[in-house]
Structure 1
Amino acid sequence: MSGPEDTTESKDPEEKPAPVPLLTLRDGLPGVIERTPDLEAVAEQFAAGSGPVAIDAERASGYRYSSRAYLIQLRREGAGTALVDPTAFDDLAPLAEALDGVEWILHAATQDLACLAEVGLRPSSLFDTELAGRLLGYPRVGLATLVETALGHHLRKEHSAADWSKRPLPESWLEYAALDVEPLGELREAMATELVESGKDEWARQEFEHLLDFTPTQRAEPWRRTSQVHKIRNRRALAAVRALWGARDRIAAERDITPGRILPDSAIIAAATAMPSSRRALLGLKDFNGRGASRHATAWLEAIQEARDLDEADLPRRAARHDGPPPPRAWADKDPRAGRRLAHSKQAMADLSEALHVPVENLVTPDSLRRVLWTPPATRDPEPLLSDAAGMLSDLGARPWQVELVAPVVRDATLAGDQEPDVPEAD
C-alpha cells in the first residue's frame, strides 16, 4: 500500500523568485491643482477625509538655487490623491486649514518639512516612514525598498532627479509623483505595528515629536565645503576660494540656478590656485569652465582681486573654527584619557547598535556624544556621574529614550578612560 501522496513542490535551484507586482494608482491620475477654486475644493475634500494624510514634495535640486517645492502630493482615506502646484498660489491657506490637527505621513521628513513650511504647511504631528525603518533595523530605508519589503510592491523611481520646475510637467512625472504617496498610509500601518511589536513605539513617538521643530542647519562657513578645498594651503588662495564662492552664490541666488551649473567647484579651485589678473589668463586656465565662466568673468576677476587686496589679518584660517572637540583622530595625542574614553564608547555603541538593531547615529548624534566625552562630568562617583551625563546629553537635544540608553555608555567610558593602560614589563 502506498503512503500518502507527497504534495510538496520540488524547488528548482535555478528557479527565479516571483516578480514583484508594480505599484499602480488605484484612483487614476488626478489633474494638477493650479486655480484657487480647485484648491478650495480639494481642501474641502481633504478636510472631510479620515485618518492621517500622506504628503510629499518635489523640488528641483541640482537645477535651482532655492529649495522651494514645485509640486506637492497628498493622499488621504476618503479624499483620494491630489497634486498641487504651489507656484501657482500666493499661499496654500485653505489646504493648511483643512489639514490642521491631522497627522502627516512623510518619508525622510527632514527633506520636505522646510519647503512645505515655506508655503504655510506645518504638521501638528507626523509619522516618518524612513526614520521608522531605521529604528526597526531595516538595512535599506529608501521608500522603494521599504514598499517592496513591507508591502510587496515595486515602486518606480525613474524621475527622482528631474527638474520639477519645468512647466508643463510631463504626465509620466506626475504619475511617478502620485505613486510616491499612494503606499504611505499602508506602509505607516505596517511599520507602526512593527514598532509596537518590537517595543520601539515610544522611541518613534519621541523622534517624530522632535522632528516638528526641525530647521535645516546653517553652516558658519559654507564656502569651506567647496570640493577639493583641502588642497589649498595658502591663506590668500583660501580667501580667493571664499570670494569666488560668495560671488557665485550671489549670482546663483539672483538667477535661481544651482551654483554648480554656473561655475563648478573645480573652476573655483583652479582660479584660486592661479590667482589670474586678466580675463584672458582666467579663461585660459585648463579647469576654468562652466556655463558662467565667460559670462561672469568680470565678477570672478573682482572676487580674486578682493582676495588679493585683503590685509594679512583678514585672511581666513587654514582650518575652520570649531566650537566643539577636536577631530577624533587627534584625541589620543591631545588628551590620552579622552582618547581612551572615545575608544571605549565606540565599542560600547557598536555593541548597543547591534543588540537593538538601530544604527549608531540614531542612538545619539555623534557630535553630541563626542562633546560629552571630551568634557565629561567632573565627578567619578558612578551614580552622580550617570545623572550628570544624562543631563548633558539632554541639554544637547538627545531624546529621553536616547539618554536612557547612552548615559550609561558615557559613565562607563568616562571611568574606563581614567584607567591607565597596562604597560608590559621589560625583559
Structure 2
Amino acid sequence: MDSAADFPPFQQRLTSSLVQVTRTVGQLSAEDLSFHRSSSVELSESIDEQSNRILSLTSSLLKAATAGTDLPAPSLRDEDSIEDNWRGVVDVIDALLERADACLDEFTGVIKRLSPSQQEQSAAKAMKKTTSKFPTIYDYGPSRIPKPQLQFERHVDNTDVLPFKPLLRTKPHAMVPLEESVKSTDPVMGFRNPYETEIRAAKYPEPTYAVSSPVPYQPWDSTTATFVDTLEGVKEMLKELKSVKEIAIDLEHHDVHSYHGIVSLMQISTRDKDWVVDTLKPWREELQMLNEVFADPSILKVLHGSSMDIIWLQRDLGLYVVGMFDTYHAACSLNYPKRSLKFLLQKFVNFEADKRYQMADWRIRPLPDGMFDYARSDTHYLLHIFDHLRNELAQNSMPDNNLIDYVLEQSKNEALQRYECSAYDTVTGQGPGGWYDYLSRNPTVMTKEQFAVFKAVHQWRDEVAREEDEGVQCVFPKHVLFKVAHAMPLDLGTLFRTLSPVTPITKDRASDLLETIKNAKIEGANGPEWRDVYVKPTRMGRGVPAAEAEQGLLTPPAGGEDFPTAARCEISQFWGAVLDLREPLTPPQYSAVASAEALRLSLPLPPMPRTVSEARDMLVVSTTAKPAPPKPAAAPVEAPKDKEEDNIFTVKGLGGPRKRKSEQAASPDVDDASDVVDIGEKPSKKQRRKEKKNKSASQTPQPEENKEESEPFNYEAAASVLHAQPAQTVTVRRKRPFNPYAKALEAPSGLRKQKRETAGKSFTFR
C-alpha cells in the first residue's frame, strides 16, 4: 500500500476472508465429529493431524508476536494446554491489538511518529512498561506516551505530604516582599497565598465598570494562533502582553497518567492575537516571568471557571493572577440557564465548540490540528464575551446591588485559593481521595472483613499510584475496588478474575495485593463495621455518628439553634385547606367520643341505651307513642324439664324407622301431622296447602288475652342471658340422614362433554 487510500480495499478483502473462515469453522464445529471419528479411522487420523498442525502454527505465531517483548510465549502442546494457557494467549492478542491500533493511527494520519531524536531521548527515560511509542488519545490503560514529567528540572515527588511551598523566585508588582509572603504562618495549614495582599487590594480599571460597544473579534479563518515551545518565544509573547489592557487565559490539564496531574497547555489571547504555550518543557518553571503580566492589577485577566486553573497555575508554574474577571460568576449573577463556556460561545458568537477533544490526552506532541483549534477557541472569543457580560451586568445593577462588584469579589475569592498537597487519613478515611468519601457516596453493605479489605486495598492502590506517578484509576478503577472488597479473593486465580481486565501495573504486583487482602481479612475479623463509623447526613450537611461520638469522624453540632428553618405553609397550593392539621384527640376523648362517632357513621343503628333504666324509659316511650297495634307474639313454648335435658340420646334413636302418613297422624308424640317434617323429601301438595292455611290463621288478630304482652319487659327480674337454658326443643323425626346438598343435586344436569379424538392417537376396542 502506497497511500492511505489503498487501505480501505485491503481492509474489505481481509474482512471478507476472515468472515468466510469463521463461517467454515462454525459449520465444522456444528457437525458430530465424535460420531464420524468412531465410524472412520482415516477421518480420525486426518483430524488429529490437522489439529496438531494448527496448534503448531498457533505456537509459532505466539512466539513471533512476543519476540522483543516482556510477554512469555504460551506453549500449546495439545487441546488441554489451550485452556491452561488461555490467559497468556489473551495477553498476547491484547498487545497485538494495541500495536495495530497505534500503527493504523499513524498510517491514516491521525497521529505522527516521533522524530528520531525524540525517540532516542525518550528511550532512556520512558517508563518501564510502556507498550508503544506512538501517542494517541488516552485511555485508562497503559500510557503510550513517554512521561514528560520525567524530563522536568524539578522532579515530581508524590510521597511528599508536607505543606506546599510556593515556587516563586521573584515577586513582580509586590506590595509585600517575597520573603515575608512565603513565610509559613501555620505548621498545619502551611503557606498562605504569596499574592494575598495584592489580590485583596487590587483596583480594577475604569472600563470594567462602564458600558461600551463590544469590540469585534478577529476572524477565525483568516487568523491563527502562535505555538510557543521555546523560551525565546515566551519572551516575545511577554513583550506584546505588556502593551494590552485585557487578556484571556485558559489551561488544558491531564490527570490520568499522573498522580497529581500536569498542566499540558496554556492559551492566552488578546484582542488581536492568540498564543498556545507548551507547558510540558523541562524549563516550564521559567514561565514565572509571566507574573509581570498576570500579577499586574492594571491588566484585566478574563477566565471562565477559574476554580481549578488558579490551583494548577501556582502548583506547576508558580503563576498567580491579580485583577481577574471570571465569566462563570457573571453568568451566575445574570441567571443564565447554563453557565458553561460552550453556552456562552453559542449565545454571543454563534460558535459551536467541538467537545470531542475535551477528554483528549493533551500531552500529545505535535498537536493534531483539531486539538490545536479546540484549545485556541477557548480564549479567542473570550474577551468579546466579556464585553457583552460587562454591559449586561452594568445595565441590571441597582444602586444598592452592583452586579459588577459582586462578580469581581467572587473572582478575587477564586484568585485567593492556594494549592495543598492531597493526602488523606488512612484511619478515618477523611481527606482528598479518601475511602470515606467513596463509601458515603456509594451505599453498600459490608461485613467487618470486607470493610477492612476495602480500606487496605484502597490504601494499596493509592501507594502504587504515587510510586508509578499514575492516576489511581490506572491501577484499577473504583468499581473494581468494590468488587475486590466484596469477593476478598485468597488465590491468584480468583484475584485475576475479580480484577479482569488486569492492568499491567496491578499484574506485576498481584502477589503483594493478595497478601494485603489476606492480612486485612484476618485483622478485620475483630474490627469495626462500616455502619459503626458512618456519619448519617443531616441538615446543613452535618451528621451524627452511627454508634457513638467517639467512633464518628465528624464532630456533631453542639446545638440546632444555628440551623435556618423554613416557615410551614398553612394552606397547600395543590390540596388547598384539605390538609389542615388538627390537634390529635387525647385518649379519654378518643375512647368516649371518637369511637362512638365512628360507630354511628359506620352502622345505621338507633341510639343505644347505656343503662337498664334508660332502656326501660325508652321502651315505655316507644310503647305509648306507637299508633299501630302490636303484632301478636307466638305462643310461648314450654321449656323442657332439666331431667329430660340430661337424658342421653342418639341421633339414630331420634331418627327411627321410616313410617307411613297414617302412623305419623296417629303418633302420640306429635299433636299434628303437620309438625312432622321429613327432611330430605319434598312435601306433598296437600301438606303445602295445609301449611299455607296455618300461616294465614296465625296472622289474624289475637284476642285480648295477649294484650299483656305489650307491657314493658322487666329487665331486672329477667333471667341471666349468659346462663340461660335452651328455650325449646323441637322433636324432628328424620327418615334418612340430613343431606345439605340435596337441593343442589336437584338442579338440571348440563350438557355432557363430548370426547374428541386427539390427533396422532388411536383407540383399540375389545
For 2:601, the equivalent position in structure 1 comes to none
* Aligned-pair CA distance for 1:160: 0.8
- Structure 1 residue runs without a partner (length 5+): 1-21, 335-370, 378-388, 390-409
1:120 partnered with 2:318: yes
In the alignment, the residues of structure 2 paired with residue 314 and residue 23 of structure 1 have an alpha-carbon distance, to the nearest angstrom, of: 66
2:251 alignment partner, one of 57, 65, 74: 57
In the alignment, the residues of structure 1 paired with residue 380 and residue 581 of structure 2 have an alpha-carbon distance, to the nearest angstrom, of: 60
For 1:155, the equivalent position in structure 2 comes to 353
In the alignment, the residues of structure 1 paired with residue 532 and residue 391 of structure 2 have an alpha-carbon distance, to the nearest angstrom, of: 48
- 1:289-308 aligned at under 5 Å gives the runs 289-292=501-504, 293-308=506-521
- 1:198-217 aligned at under 5 Å gives the runs 198-199=396-397, 200-215=403-418
CA offsets 1:118-154 (integer angstroms, 9 cap, x no match): 2111101211112211221111111111111123333
1:99 partnered with 2:294: yes
The alignment partner of 1:214 has SS state of coil
* Aligned-pair CA distance for 1:263: 0.7
CA offsets 1:322-357 (integer angstroms, 9 cap, x no match): 5xx9434999999xxxxxxxxxxxxxxxxxxxxxxx
- 1:189-228 aligned at under 5 Å gives the runs 189-199=387-397, 200-215=403-418, 220-221=430-431, 222-226=434-438
Larger relative contact order, structure 1 or 2 (CA cutoff 8 Å, min sep 6) = 1
* Aligned-pair CA distance for 1:259: 1.7
In the alignment, the residues of structure 2 paired with residue 281 and residue 235 of structure 1 have an alpha-carbon distance, to the nearest angstrom, of: 21
CA offsets 1:38-62 (integer angstroms, 9 cap, x no match): 22221222122x1222111101244
In the alignment, the residues of structure 2 paired with residue 332 and residue 237 of structure 1 have an alpha-carbon distance, to the nearest angstrom, of: 24
- Structure 2 residue runs without a partner (length 5+): 1-217, 398-402, 425-429, 546-555, 570-579, 586-593, 595-766
Larger Rg: 2
The alignment partner of 1:70 has SS state of strand
In the alignment, the residues of structure 1 paired with residue 268 and residue 543 of structure 2 have an alpha-carbon distance, to the nearest angstrom, of: 51
In the alignment, the residues of structure 1 paired with residue 471 and residue 327 of structure 2 have an alpha-carbon distance, to the nearest angstrom, of: 29
For 2:305, the equivalent position in structure 1 comes to 108
CA offsets 1:369-419 (integer angstroms, 9 cap, x no match): xx9997335xxxxxxxxxxx9xxxxxxxxxxxxxxxxxxxx4xx37879xx
2:538 alignment partner, one of 319, 327, 330: 327
Partners of 1:59 and 1:164 within 8 A in 2: yes
Distance 1:330 1:197, change over 3 A: closer
The count of aligned residue pairs is 328
The alignment partner of 2:480 has SS state of helix
Distance 1:196 1:226, change over 3 A: same
* Aligned-pair CA distance for 1:165: 1.7
* Aligned-pair CA distance for 1:178: 0.9
Distance 1:146 1:298, change over 3 A: same
Partners of 1:245 and 1:268 within 8 A in 2: yes
Q: Which amino acid in the other structure matches residue 59 of structure 1?
A: H
- 1:276-291 aligned at under 5 Å gives the runs 276-285=489-498, 288-291=500-503
Which 10-residue stretch deviates more, 117-126 or 226-235?
A: 226-235
For 2:621, the equivalent position in structure 1 comes to none
* Aligned-pair CA distance for 1:225: 3.8
In the alignment, the residues of structure 2 paired with residue 330 and residue 188 of structure 1 have an alpha-carbon distance, to the nearest angstrom, of: 35
For 2:224, the equivalent position in structure 1 comes to 28
For 2:470, the equivalent position in structure 1 comes to 257
Distance 1:45 1:66, change over 3 A: same
For 2:280, the equivalent position in structure 1 comes to 87
The alignment partner of 2:226 has SS state of coil
In terms of fraction of residues, the more helix-rich structure is: 1
* Aligned-pair CA distance for 1:163: 0.7
Partners of 2:241 and 2:293 within 8 A in 1: yes
Distance 1:328 1:42, change over 3 A: same
Q: TM-score, normalised by structure 1?
A: 0.67
For 2:484, the equivalent position in structure 1 comes to 271
* Aligned-pair CA distance for 1:272: 1.2
In the alignment, the residues of structure 2 paired with residue 203 and residue 373 of structure 1 have an alpha-carbon distance, to the nearest angstrom, of: 33
* Aligned-pair CA distance for 1:180: 0.7
In the alignment, the residues of structure 2 paired with residue 288 and residue 255 of structure 1 have an alpha-carbon distance, to the nearest angstrom, of: 20
* Aligned-pair CA distance for 1:111: 2.6
For 1:180, the equivalent position in structure 2 comes to 378
Partners of 1:264 and 1:289 within 8 A in 2: no
Partners of 2:267 and 2:274 within 8 A in 1: yes
Distance 1:329 1:116, change over 3 A: closer
- 1:343-354 aligned at under 5 Å gives the runs none
* Aligned-pair CA distance for 1:187: 0.8
* Aligned-pair CA distance for 1:302: 3.2
Which 10-residue stretch deviates more, 123-132 or 208-217?
A: 208-217
The alignment partner of 2:451 has SS state of helix
Percent of residue pairs identical: 19
Partners of 1:52 and 1:103 within 8 A in 2: yes
In the alignment, the residues of structure 1 paired with residue 223 and residue 387 of structure 2 have an alpha-carbon distance, to the nearest angstrom, of: 20
Distance 1:149 1:317, change over 3 A: same
Q: Which amino acid in the other structure matches residue 458 of structure 2?
A: W
- 1:214-253 aligned at under 5 Å gives the runs 214-215=417-418, 220-221=430-431, 222-226=434-438, 229-253=442-466
Q: Which amino acid in the other structure matches residue 52 of structure 1?
A: E
For 2:634, the equivalent position in structure 1 comes to none
In the alignment, the residues of structure 2 paired with residue 332 and residue 260 of structure 1 have an alpha-carbon distance, to the nearest angstrom, of: 30
Partners of 1:61 and 1:163 within 8 A in 2: no
1:69 alignment partner, one of 246, 249, 263: 263
The alignment partner of 1:231 has SS state of coil
In the alignment, the residues of structure 2 paired with residue 179 and residue 372 of structure 1 have an alpha-carbon distance, to the nearest angstrom, of: 48
1:41 partnered with 2:41: no
Partners of 1:159 and 1:176 within 8 A in 2: yes
Partners of 2:451 and 2:529 within 8 A in 1: yes
In the alignment, the residues of structure 2 paired with residue 122 and residue 99 of structure 1 have an alpha-carbon distance, to the nearest angstrom, of: 6
